[in-house]
Structure 1
């Protein structure tokens, strides 16, 4: 029972941190940048580093359910790889170029920051993309394996997974078009990467919150509030 409670708590922590991340970045820097990763070079970098590091550590230590018959991968394997990917995303930051706003810490080296190292930038993008794809897989394929869950909950998990995959797929497609056409889509839709990342983060955050039974917690609080109000 304690193991289940601990697992629920970890899931809700991931969900809450996911919901908080984009807002904390915007509030701390008060400028819209081209991607969440660019906030690494701002006052919001403390939230970017801490929350993504928390994602990584929680996911690496997340047990999940044992591999069932017919499954190719266990929850533990998927979340461990996802956790390692997001830690790489933190340790190997994005390039500081084309931020759409002002950055700090660019005149002198800031931790592992760099201005235009294409190799490091590619590692950052690939690790971030794999992190999102794996969390989309968790939502779409793993969270629905509880046979006691309602059909509506399972539909929500699948939709969240599709939204995560769709958002990242759109980013990849736009990056390819930018390379082929030699244009910058930020001139058409400013900070499109940031907005699509926000959608992906919120999709997996909602899935993890619901999987952590946040709805039951809310119901319990409402019951206690009703009892208190009636006294």
Structure 2
């Protein structure tokens, strides 16, 4: 009987470690792509206009590979078992985010009247939908992806009883990350709607706002994966 209890405890510990590993992987990938594109921009002396424009640069494989890896980890994420009557669940939100980020990678955006750059071949979705519609799918999927991650920060990660200063600190970090995502993506929408993204292109506002939003979601997942405990303790000590 004692052996069975030990085996059961080991299985539960392994499951917890698996959850933590997936969360850390999702967070690490969120940090990786913007950092890689920043390094590329510094190397060539010019930042890309947006993260999505990496598709038409030498960083294409890094861009697509990172997003597809993100989709795989999100699709495999089970999260906590939902309570009876829950409409928003860990698994469902992760699946929505996974499909959305896969569409971002497989249906790249376009520019200059949606004419593909020289020597660029269309992806399967671009060929089927044609570049203008594929670009709308890309933008819509990106909005859904970040929206799902904001839901994680503001709704799912903050669930549960606040049983100590570290949980309270974690919740404050999640909410800060969530509202940062909402504000950043909302600002990009304003830039697109007003045409300011083109007028301010020299400053690369879309790239920086996307990077801020991505860092925010990556931070929240790393905190949830227990990889940023010193940050949580530091926030807890500020009260």
TM score, norm. by length of structure 2: 0.79
Other structure's SS at 1:165 match: helix
Please tell me whether residue 97 in structure 1 is matched to residue 112 in structure 2.
yes
Residue 24 in structure 1 maps to residue 36 in structure 2: yes
Q: 2:145 aligns with which of 114, 131, 150?
A: 131
Unaligned runs of 5+ in 2: 1-12, 233-239
Distance 1:112 1:59, change over 3 A: same
Tell me the residue number matched to 1:208: 221
**Cα deviation per residue 1:4-55 (whole Å; 9 max; x = unaligned)?**
1111011111111111211212323533121100011111111111111111
* C-alpha distance in 1 between matches for 2:121 and 2:194: 31
| Matched position secondary structure for 1:144 | coil
Deviation of 1:186 after TM superposition, in Å, equals 3.5
5 Å matches for 1:45-124?
Answer: 45-97=60-112, 106-110=117-121, 112=123, 117-124=131-138
Shift of 1:70: 4.9
Aligned to 1:43: 58
Match of 2:15? 3
Give the Cα separation in 2 of the matches to 1:177 and 1:216. 41
**Alignment partners' CA distance in 1, 2:145 and 2:94:** 9
Matched, 1:153 2:170: yes
1:12 to 10, 24, 39: 24
Q: Is the 8 A contact 1:92 1:123 kept in 2?
A: yes
Tell me by how many angstroms 1:107 deviates. Answer: 1.9
- What's the offset of the Cα at 1:198? 0.3
How far residue 97 of structure 1 moved from its aligned partner, in angstroms, is 3.5
Per the normalisation by structure 1, the TM-score is: 0.82
Question: Could you tell me how far apart the structure 1 residues matched to 2:230 and 2:61 are?
Answer: 30
- Which of 187, 193, 200 pairs up with 1:176? 193
Q: CA contact under 8 A between 1:28 and 1:43: conserved in structure 2?
A: no
Q: CA deviation at 1:168?
A: 0.7
Q: What is the aligned length?
A: 208
- Cα distance between partner residues in 1 of 2:187 and 2:133: 22
Q: What is the alpha-carbon distance in structure 2 between the residues aligned to residue 26 and residue 46 of structure 1?
A: 15
CA distance in 1, matches of 2:100, 2:47: 25
Contact 2:19 2:225 in 1 (8 A): yes
